[in-house]
Amino acid sequence: MTAMPHKKLEEALFLVDWNSNVAEFLTDASSATLAECNLRLAIWSKQFEIVDGGNPALPFIREMQVAGHHVVALTGLSLYKPAAAAMRIMLETALYYTYFRTHPSELRTLAHDPKYFIEKSDLIDYHNRHTPDFKTLQGRLGLVDKLRKWYNFTSSIVHGQIPGGWVEHKSLAETRHVPKTLSVVVEAFSEGVDIVHSLFLCTVGRELWRDFSSTAKKILLAGLSGEVKTALGLDRA
């Protein structure tokens, strides 16, 4: 009785030309954009691994980077909605790291007590109250407003609140790229990475900046306006 549905699943999976989907994605300019986004995450991750080595909250950073990899893999396969979930994980784990790296007891509770939960708004409120210059700096970058708007939009995709959002095919066998939707996915990921970048610049990245490599500093500051660079007060060497 179970052989027939399994056979149908097998047929549907083999009908999708996964290799062709990836090849088509790699010829699209959007693949280069996603590669650049993941490079930025990789630079942050490497600096934190070196400078904050041994911190029990570093697994959040590793998960953030892997989530970025998953976004690329899923997008390349034309699995856009699952990519949205990976994007949200990327942002959540980055935000968790900025808080739990200095709150080891709460981190232990998080790891062992399934009832313990902390809201994003609580983490942002923590930075507003305790992270030096956060209110001023995030205001210059528009961080909190962008974060809330982006997170709400991405969550609406993940939870299916937008009917048909990022799902263009009617069956598994029809999974293939839709250029219009692909561009929206890429734009959302790029914006999410920009938000993570701004979050780190306003919080833990700024705190640990002195020990970052000169090369990393130059790359991470590239593209920021002179006004923002001055406000952040971060050197390039």
Query: CA 54 to CA 72: how far, in whole Å?
Result: 29
DSSP-derived letter for residue 212 is S
Residue 2 confidence (pLDDT) above 60: no
**Vertex 207 angle, CA 203 and 210, to 5°:** 140
What is the rounded average pLDDT of the residues 92-114?
97
pLDDT grade, residue 18 (50/70/90)? Answer: very high
Residue 24 confidence (pLDDT) above 50: yes
Per-residue pLDDT of 75-92, as tens digits, reads 999 999 999 999 999 999
Query: CA 181 to CA 179: how far, in whole Å?
Result: 6
Residue 1 confidence (pLDDT) above 50: no
Answer yes or no: pTM beyond 0.75.
yes
Q: What is the CA radius of gyration of the chain?
A: 20
Query: CA 96 to CA 92: how far, in whole Å?
Result: 6
Is residue 27 within 8 Å of 60, Cβ to Cβ?
no
Of 33-47, 63-77, 116-130, 155-169, give the lowest mean pLDDT range.
Answer: 155-169
Distance of CA 83 to the CA centre of its chain: 10
DSSP-derived letter for residue 209 is G
Per-residue pLDDT of 107-146, as tens digits, reads 999 999 999 999 999 999 999 999 999 999 999 999 999 9
